[in-house]
């Protein structure tokens, strides 16, 4: 309705001004300026609410979590290499220093609620929760399995010492475990890229609240949801069985 009014104003502003004088023309120009001002404010509000306070914060937290995991994963390889080369002379602080961990309670529920409103699907909320579980389990492997075993072998005395061939065999087993974790984390990088793709859609276009009602039907958005759901479908189903029952996608 407002758009139609502005179109009429633009169409008849010139003729009206010539007929009734510059006062009316100035009033019409002021009215148009007010409309532009409020429309710009609406664009900014949409951007802040759904992009800056919604998707961007989720993307930032997931990216930081994945990079932290990558650093811890790389440190484990360094520990294993050092233990292989230096055996019992491996520096104690290398395997005793705690691994930085992601706070599993820092789930951005409010931000995910905004994202769910936007895309009418909970797939990214579900996969974010799955990521937190994965990171927690990986942290246990790094610290309580790998490093704890090295600590026991080095500091546990003769009763816990192992033969050189046993040490190499154990290190090889640990390397295979780390390689398996690296394969398991890759889908979460895909999920992060798809969140970026959705954020770009919201960033590139100037959305009003009215236009946002059809955001979930955007081709890029639908494609991202479909790809992530195809990757994590089984895990999400398991998540439901554990008591977390995400809402189904809106069919409209």
Please tell me the predicted confidence (pLDDT) of residue 218. 95
Contacts of 5 (CB under 8 A, 6+ apart): 35
pLDDT < 70 regions, the chain: 1-43, 104-106, 159, 243-252
Q: Distance (Å, rounded) from C-alpha 68 to C-alpha 65? A: 5
Predicted confidence at residue 42, as pLDDT, reads: 66
127-179, pLDDT tens digit by residue? 999 999 999 999 999 999 999 999 998 888 776 778 889 999 999 999 999 99
The residue extents of the domains of the chain are 44-241
**pLDDT at 27 (0 to 100):** 55
pTM metric for this prediction: 0.80
- pLDDT at site 188: 98
Distance (Å, rounded) from C-alpha 200 to C-alpha 193? Answer: 11
pLDDT of 114 reads: 92
Other beta carbons within 10 Å of 69: 24
φ, ψ (nearest 5 deg) of residue 239: -65, -40
């Amino acid at each position: 309705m407002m758009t139609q009014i502005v179109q009429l104003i633009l169409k008849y502003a010139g003729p009206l001004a010539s007929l009734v004088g510059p006062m009316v023309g100035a009033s019409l120009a002021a009215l148009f300026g007010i409309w532009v001002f409020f429309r710009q404010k609406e664009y900014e509000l949409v951007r802040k609410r759904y992009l800056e306070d919604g998707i961007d914060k989720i993307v930032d937290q997931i990216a930081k979590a994945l990079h932290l995991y990558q650093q811890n994963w790389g440190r484990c390889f360094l520990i294993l290499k050092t233990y292989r080369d230096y055996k019992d002379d491996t520096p104690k602080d290398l395997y005793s220093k705690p691994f930085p961990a992601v706070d599993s309670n820092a789930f951005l529920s409010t931000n995910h609620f905004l994202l769910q409103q936007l895309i009418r699907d909970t797939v990214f909320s579900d996969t974010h929760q799955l990521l937190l579980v994965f990171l927690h389990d990986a942290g246990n492997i790094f610290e309580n399995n790998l490093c704890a075993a090295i600590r026991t072998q080095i500091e546990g005395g003769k009763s816990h010492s192992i033969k050189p061939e046993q040490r190499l065999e154990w290190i090889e087993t640990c390397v295979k475990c780390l390689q398996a974790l690296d394969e398991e984390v890759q889908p979460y990088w895909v999920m992060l890229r798809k969140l970026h793709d959705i954020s770009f859609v919201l960033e590139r276009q100037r959305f009003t609240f009215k236009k946002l009602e059809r955001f979930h039907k955007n081709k890029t958005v639908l494609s991202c949801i479909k790809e992530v759901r195809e990757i994590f479908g089984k895990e999400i189903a398991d998540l439901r069985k554990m008591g977390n029952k995400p809402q189904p996608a809106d069919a409209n």
